[in-house]
Structure 1
Amino acid sequence: MPATSSAESRGRGALNGERSSRRESAERTPIFSRLLASLLSASAALVGAASTYLVDRATQPVVTTKRLSANEIHLQTRKRLRWFLGVVVLVFAAAGAKMIFLQVAQRDRFIAYSVSQREHTTLLAADRGTIFDRNGIDLALSAPSNTIVVDPTLVKDKSRTASLLAPVLGMPRREILTRLRAKNHFQYLVRQVDTSVVEKVKALDPEASKNKALYSLGGIYFVNEPKRVNPSGGNLAAPVLGSVNLEGAALSGLEASNDSILKGKRGRISAQTDARGREIPKTSRSIVPAKRGDDLVLTIDQSLQYEVERRLVDRVTSAGATGGLVVVADVTNGDILAMASAVGANAAKSEPARVADGLEQNRPLTWTYTPGSVNKIVTFAGAIERGIINSDSVIDGITNSVTDSGFTITDDHVMPSAMSATEILARSSNVGTTKVAAMLGKQGLSHYLSAFGYGVTTSIDFPAQSSGILAASKDWHSIDMLTKPIGYGLAATPMQVLDAYMTIANGGKIVHPRLVSARIDAQGVRHQTVAQPGGRVVSKATASAVTEM
């Protein structure tokens, strides 16, 4: 029999214990016995037909122009009987040959077919691994929960049952009634609910006990299912952690990107059952235990994450923003200590600002934007690294604006016509930065934008992570030498921008960010995540100069 899902298998196992036999007796008869019976029946019918024919012919008067003697009639009758016996022998020989063929040549095939009719396989769900913060605090784990199912064929008074269950389950009566009227033997009523709901359903029949039907209602059963929960409460780090569905399949976040580690391996129980689904005594039974998934240890600090989310929501609320994000990282090793996303208030629904949930965007990695002036450090770092300027170099000829292809770049306020590189960066002069970029050149600017990590995803393995937008230098137009140096004409994720700043803070050497620090296997052995080696983008002296600027 085909394998079923773990929840449905447990539900069907409970239902089979109470279900009356609805199969024909032929389903319990071995295939060979049925075949032999069919052959014997056909042979008997053929013999009967032949006998009737011969008797009729023997008893009918022979119409002939010549009267036969008694001896001739006797010889003719014997001839007919020999033909009859020959036919009978041929029929039984054919049946015997067929039986020998089935018993010898096709023996293994029919044995396997017989076993497949009797053997029932139930899949055993594997416990999903736990996700810990850097200090061993649970962030996501699987806890036992209750699922309520029904065999609609055993519910006699469907209307009354729906009326009783609706207020207890918090479901529309019509929806429950639709499920009770289904033509199959298994329907979910409600999944992964608290024990209190189960107790209320049981209270509808004081005689009902755990995992037994409510006899006053009929066909109601309780099944245990694991439910993914966040012990820290609320949506703490929810977009980072991600979510799983009711079947335990990963949908998003680290749950999805590390699903092969967390999900474990399902087990199975194979046993031979009769037509009513009951296990046949003294038959073979095999059990392959389920293997629990491995645990993950993140770089996230639970306490810091909580405080960051709280302050982020407050700030989004006070600013009336549509959303916000925060990333806190250790620039020495790339560990992400906190990563938060918030959703702004929804006045139409009277909803206040809140932390994003597990199915919403993890903005630092999946959302792109035009970085703007924060991107100017790339332009200056590249020019200093190539010896074109230093922090004290004076750039003159700075005007109030610069125009190319009908597009004009201006500064927010009037700037001096001559400024040092430090002053240009400190004052965030757009026009001054474009002059530095012109000295660096198109190929040089393109090289350093790519070297600092723009246009590619970060080292964090995360679903739907964006690589941003950075065109190849061969596809640039003249206007790009005005826009890209000041952070326009390209798109990046907040994590990519932070990655560039981490490189400067780390002395010009790339430090790859990470969210997962280790894996803990079933034996409790910790396997540390190997940090990717980072290459050098600019010299330590250049990084120090940019930092001072």
Structure 2
Amino acid sequence: MGQGRLRLVVGAVALVCLSLGARAVQLSVADDARYGTFSTEAFASERVDAAERVTGRGAIVSADGQRLAASLDAGKVVATPYQIEDPEAVAKSLAETLGDEAGSADEIEEKLTGAGKGASRGYSVVAEGVEPETAREVTELGLTGISVAPDEVRAYPNGPLASQLIGYLGTDQAYGGVEARYDEVLKGGQDVELTLDTAVQRELEVALNETAETYEGKSALGLVMRVEDGAIVALAHTPGYDNNQFAEAPEEVKRDRILTDPYEPGSTFKAFTMAAALEEGAVSEQDTFMVADSMPVADVVIKDSEVHAPEILNPAGILQHSRNVGTIQVAQSLGGERLVENIKRFGFGEETGVDLWGENAGIVPPFEEWSGSSIGNIPIGQGLTVTPLQLASGYAALVNGGLRVTPHVASNADTGEPGRRVMSEKTSSIVKGMLQTVVDEGTGHFAQIPGYTVAGKTGTAQKVDPETGRYGDEYVTSFIGFAPAQDPEYLTLIVVDEPQKAIWGEVVAAPAFQNVMGFTLGYYNVPPDRESTKNDAPTPDPVLAPDAKKEDSIR
């Protein structure tokens, strides 16, 4: 048998092996025609059977059985340069068959002659990730010195859905997210099943996109977490990107900012100050404070969000109206040293232990490094930094009876022993009740969901101007809440960076929370715990809210 015929047979056998390994290769890769001929949406929704997979990189699969990342069978076109007698003619034939995948005929000719980057006289890769049908056509050309070997290409069937969480598999390594964290597991051919649900994820992404667009926010992010154990049901950012076009995406949008980018949380942090004071016995539910609309603390003046006459408020009233001055008075009753101890107990200032790489621990200034004004900003969530993931994890412990949770995205993640207790069940119950009044009667009323008790906290935190080092005129706006209020199953966090048309957590973030949490409760069939009637008042228009407030102001 001649060498040409032998190579043709070898190439055909390789292609048969490639084809035998194929599934129904039905996958929809949004906006990527490269994979269109062997892709349909059916592939993404097929339930994954571990017994079907025996080779290749494992898939990343959502809790509802959707493939979020999968390796597709493809071909690799390989050249043996010294066997090619007419590189120019062969390059022209390959260019016509492969199209743009392998470059121009001139670029291919460089590879065939061993002149291309990474090429050698004995072996040169002409094209990788070639569609099976195209690979078959290359084999049928019968070109001396050209063969087709089995290959895989990583595809992301749902396009931009949860891209930062999923991560990306490059030709050299895995970049970020689940692809990087569970690289060894996936390389071993095992699938990784996530706690993320695609229906909730889509709802969250839509809410973030609409909110950022409506209020002209620089960016937005959010997550949905199971309160009991820290399982992440949805995690999203906007702007996002599509892992199928990873190289074209700006670097700044590829970070999973929920765990990598700490920020000053503002008023959402006040619940921890209140919990610490109650747990330590520094204040009680019945204690009252004379709360003015401003107070000097060292060299700064702390203001409430609105001018008001001095008012007598208990701790619940202070949270309900998000009073900065009242929160600082509570913190002064506790003392800075004990406040820091309690803040650290909730896990702030350290990594949460989430099963993803790149987590930032945030900064909680040690008490010995406090300035005179620290007691005036740290209790209201300024002067320290937390990641959105830390805040959600802390709230889970705050409202689940006082037990720390370890956030996780893999369903079989090793989260260690049950979380340690950080406060009593009694304090947890009291704080839940206080946060419910925030939604029922206070600054969070746009978060109300018909049929359910809802609790949570708004936040509108000033950002530090990087040029002056002082608080400026841009804000991070947020809402974090949970439901049902006294027996919570899920919590949702919404954060919008630098909104321009409004800056108040009540107006910008709470309605997005309402949409996402309302969907989540219904989707998981959480029983309603509050009677709703046809006489219920309609949800107010947040854009026109007359009493919307910016809560945190340090001047």
**Given the two structures, how large is their TM-score scaled by the length of structure 2?**
0.61
Partner of 2:304: 411
After superposing on structure 2, the runs of 4+ consecutive aligned residues of structure 1 that deviate more than 6 Å are 13-18, 354-359
Residue 440 of structure 1, aligned match among 312, 334, 351: 334
In 2: Cα distance, 1:359 partner to 1:181 partner: 40
* Letter in structure 1 aligned against 2:231: D
Partner of 1:219: 145
Once the two structures are superposed, residues 105-133 of structure 1 have per-residue CA deviations (whole angstroms, 9 ceiling, x without a partner) of xxxxxxxxxxxxxxxxxxxx962223222
Q: Displacement, 1:397?
A: 5.6
| Residues 174, 532 of structure 1: alpha-carbon distance in 2 compared, 3 angstrom cutoff | farther
Residue 304 of structure 1, aligned match among 186, 193, 200: 200
Q: Displacement, 1:410?
A: 1.7
Q: Equivalent residue of 1:396, what SS?
A: strand
* Letter in structure 1 aligned against 2:390: Q
Once the two structures are superposed, residues 389-443 of structure 1 have per-residue CA deviations (whole angstroms, 9 ceiling, x without a partner) of 12332112635242423x3322221134233222221221222211211111111
Structure 2 gaps, min length 5: 1-5, 12-53, 115-119, 435-555
Q: Equivalent residue of 2:204, what SS?
A: helix
Q: Equivalent residue of 1:328, what SS?
A: strand
Residue 228 of structure 1, aligned match among 128, 134, 154: 154
| Residues 165, 137 of structure 1: alpha-carbon distance in 2 compared, 3 angstrom cutoff | same
* Aligned residues of 2:355 and 2:407 also touching (Cα < 8 A): no
1:319 aligns with 2:234: no
Point out the more displaced range, 361-370 or 302-311: 302-311
Residue 536 of structure 1, aligned match among 396, 418, 421: 421
Q: Displacement, 1:480?
A: 1.5
Partner of 1:367: 261
1:191 aligns with 2:128: yes
Q: Equivalent residue of 2:275, what SS?
A: helix
In 1: Cα distance, 2:415 partner to 2:264 partner: 32
Q: Displacement, 1:366?
A: 1.6
* Aligned residues of 2:277 and 2:334 also touching (Cα < 8 A): yes
| Residues 434, 530 of structure 1: alpha-carbon distance in 2 compared, 3 angstrom cutoff | closer
Alignment of 1:109-258 (within 5 A): 127-166=56-95, 168-170=98-100, 171-182=103-114, 183-199=120-136, 201=138, 208=141, 214-215=142-143, 218-231=144-157, 233-246=158-171, 249-258=173-182
* Aligned residues of 1:517 and 1:529 also touching (Cα < 8 A): no
* Aligned residues of 2:201 and 2:234 also touching (Cα < 8 A): yes
| Residues 316, 149 of structure 1: alpha-carbon distance in 2 compared, 3 angstrom cutoff | farther
Q: Displacement, 1:492?
A: 1.0
1:472 aligns with 2:366: yes
Q: Displacement, 1:380?
A: 0.7
| Residues 344, 306 of structure 1: alpha-carbon distance in 2 compared, 3 angstrom cutoff | closer
Q: Displacement, 1:319?
A: 3.0
Partner of 2:460: none
Point out the more displaced range, 255-264 or 449-458: 255-264
Once the two structures are superposed, residues 221-251 of structure 1 have per-residue CA deviations (whole angstroms, 9 ceiling, x without a partner) of 21111222334x213222112122225x433
| Residues 530, 386 of structure 1: alpha-carbon distance in 2 compared, 3 angstrom cutoff | closer
| Residues 15, 444 of structure 1: alpha-carbon distance in 2 compared, 3 angstrom cutoff | farther
Q: Equivalent residue of 1:146, what SS?
A: strand
Q: Equivalent residue of 2:201, what SS?
A: helix
* Aligned residues of 1:235 and 1:356 also touching (Cα < 8 A): no
In 2: Cα distance, 1:334 partner to 1:344 partner: 24
Q: Displacement, 1:144?
A: 1.0
Partner of 1:348: none
* Aligned residues of 1:242 and 1:359 also touching (Cα < 8 A): no
* Letter in structure 1 aligned against 2:239: V
Point out the more displaced range, 509-518 or 151-160: 151-160
Q: Equivalent residue of 1:144, what SS?
A: strand
* Letter in structure 2 aligned against 1:228: R
* Aligned residues of 2:406 and 2:415 also touching (Cα < 8 A): no
* Aligned residues of 1:236 and 1:306 also touching (Cα < 8 A): yes
Alignment of 1:319-358 (within 5 A): 319-343=215-239
Once the two structures are superposed, residues 255-288 of structure 1 have per-residue CA deviations (whole angstroms, 9 ceiling, x without a partner) of 2222232222xxxxxxxxxxxxxxxxxxxxxxxx
* Aligned residues of 2:402 and 2:422 also touching (Cα < 8 A): yes
* Aligned residues of 1:240 and 1:358 also touching (Cα < 8 A): no
| Residues 184, 314 of structure 1: alpha-carbon distance in 2 compared, 3 angstrom cutoff | farther
* Aligned residues of 1:252 and 1:358 also touching (Cα < 8 A): no
* Aligned residues of 1:320 and 1:344 also touching (Cα < 8 A): no
**Given the two structures, how large is their TM-score scaled by the length of structure 1?**
0.62
* Letter in structure 2 aligned against 1:194: E
In 2: Cα distance, 1:17 partner to 1:362 partner: 45
Partner of 1:492: 386
In 1: Cα distance, 2:7 partner to 2:349 partner: 55
Q: Displacement, 1:178?
A: 2.7
Q: Displacement, 1:452?
A: 1.3
Q: Displacement, 1:164?
A: 4.2
Once the two structures are superposed, residues 150-209 of structure 1 have per-residue CA deviations (whole angstroms, 9 ceiling, x without a partner) of 22223333334434444543123443233233252212222112234335545xxxx53x
* Aligned residues of 2:240 and 2:254 also touching (Cα < 8 A): no
Partner of 1:81: none
